[in-house]
Amino acid sequence: MTRVIYPGTFDPITFGHINILEKACNIFDEVILAVAHDTGKQTGFSLEERFMLCEQATAHLPNVKVSTFEGLFVDYAKAMECRIMIRGMRAVSDFEYELSLALTNKKLSPEIETIFLVPSLKYMYLSSSMIRQLATLGGPLGDFVPPVVADAMKLKYGKTK
């Protein structure tokens, strides 16, 4: 069985993330969607909220398991007996950060490989930070996130359509 981990903040999970997950599910037996506790970012949703939203948004994918982790990703990957990390690559602007992350993880744990997946064209521009900004300004979210996420953002930000 081939197990991979797709780590991230997922604040919130978007259709772009789900598109990457669907692609990974077609390639690998098990995909662990690992919601990071330590993000270095100010998150809109708590770890528990992000976990619940990810579980609900991926319920249609039977080979996805949602979990959370703290600390270094490579330590989590070792604990999960997993050697492959999935990352989404939207645009050239992602390349430098994602390459640095992959090389740092490789230095910390040489057995970890990073595989980059590109989302479908209609999701190339999506980012969680853009969705959070859209929600705070009262914009519509239906084309960007699953209904459960849009509802949670409406409750959190109180302005979305």
Tell me the CATH number at 45. Answer: 3.40.50.620
Q: Domain range holding 46?
A: 3-125
Q: What are phi and psi of 3, to 5 degrees?
A: -115, 135
Q: Is residue 142 part of a domain?
A: no
Mean pLDDT of 77-96: 90
In a domain, 80, yes or no: yes
60-69 per-position pLDDT tens digit: 999 999 999 9
pLDDT of residue 161: 55
List, in sequence order, every residue forming a beta bridge with 31; answer none if it has no partner. 4, 64
What is the pLDDT averaged over residues 90-115? 90
What is the pLDDT, as a whole number, of residue 151? 95
Which positions are annotated as active-site residues? 17, 41, 90, 128
Measured distance CA(11)–CA(91) in Å, rounded: 19
Please give the average per-residue pLDDT across 115-124, as a whole number. 93
Mean pLDDT along residues 55-80? 96
Task: Say if 149 falls within a structural domain.
Answer: no
Task: Establish if 138 belongs to a structural domain.
Answer: no
Number of domains comprising the chain: 1
Q: Is residue 31, in this structure, part of any structural domain at all?
A: yes
